[in-house]
Amino acid sequence: MLNSTLEVMKALQENGADIIELGIPYSDPLADGPVIQESGGVALQNGMTIKTLIGQLQPLRSSVSVPVILMGYINPVLQYGFERFCKEVAAAGVDGLIFPDLPIREFDTEYGPVIKKYGLDFIFLVTPETSEERIRKIDDLSTGFIYAVSSSSTTGKDKNFSDVEVYLKKLKDMQLKNPVMVGFGIKDKASFESACSYANGAIIGSAYIKALQSGADIKETTKKFLEGILK
């Protein structure tokens, strides 16, 4: 539903979520799998735009106190106006941004200073194929945390976390200054706990959206889903 954004966020907070990642729907989401693509498509059909989303977030901090990260793609934000976007989301209480398709060089030379101006954190993604040199550079530029993609694929794919653990242990042994959060393919208590054994936390997206799609009530569905992960 178009106007359920804050209801979903409050339900997540009430049932144990420490951070909320809120996706900005986009017609060509490069890093997202079928579930999030479909969800984003429905949101766009329902009339969701950046302007609408920012409007929905105006009362955010009257009921949501956990950190909120916006995840999206750079093209629609550039069309909206990059500085305008940063100014308005910061004023609404957003804490940080993830743009998977924003190159390091452009961030470092052009967009990073604007993000910093409005007090927003910026989170970069790394994968098992990311070189140590690039990881160190990302660690220097990042604030908030580093998003460790569990493998080079889209969201929602099943993962063998015994293989992922080698990669996560490498990141842990690098003693990065930023916390590391793991995402992509985390869907249940087992994969969540496995990811967290080598990282500071884990991010669940597709599995939660699936639960919302099949549940009749946002509060009850969210409560049941998070209890299955955290209890």
Contacts (Cβ under 8 Å, ≥6 apart) of 16: 226, 230
CA dist., res. 231 & res. 228, Å (int): 6
CA dist., res. 139 & res. 172, Å (int): 12
Q: Which of 28, 32, 83, 193 is catalytic?
A: 32
CA dist., res. 145 & res. 181, Å (int): 7
32 is an active site residue: yes
Q: Which of 18, 21, 110, 193 is catalytic?
A: 21
Cα three-residue angle 197-104-28, rounded to 5 degrees: 85
CA dist., res. 159 & res. 162, Å (int): 9
Distances from the Cα of 108 to the Cαs of 76, 85, 116, 134, 190, in angstroms? 20, 18, 11, 13, 37
Q: Determine how many CB atoms are found less than 10 A away from the CB of residue 41.
A: 14
220 is an active site residue: no
Pairing state between β 121-122 and 125-126: unpaired
Q: Which long-range contacts (CB under 8 A, 24 or more apart) does 51-55 make?
A: 51/80, 52/2, 53/5, 53/22, 53/24, 54/85, 54/88, 54/89, 54/92
Report DSSP state, residue 200. Answer: S
CA dist., res. 220 & res. 15, Å (int): 10
Active site residue ranges? 21, 32
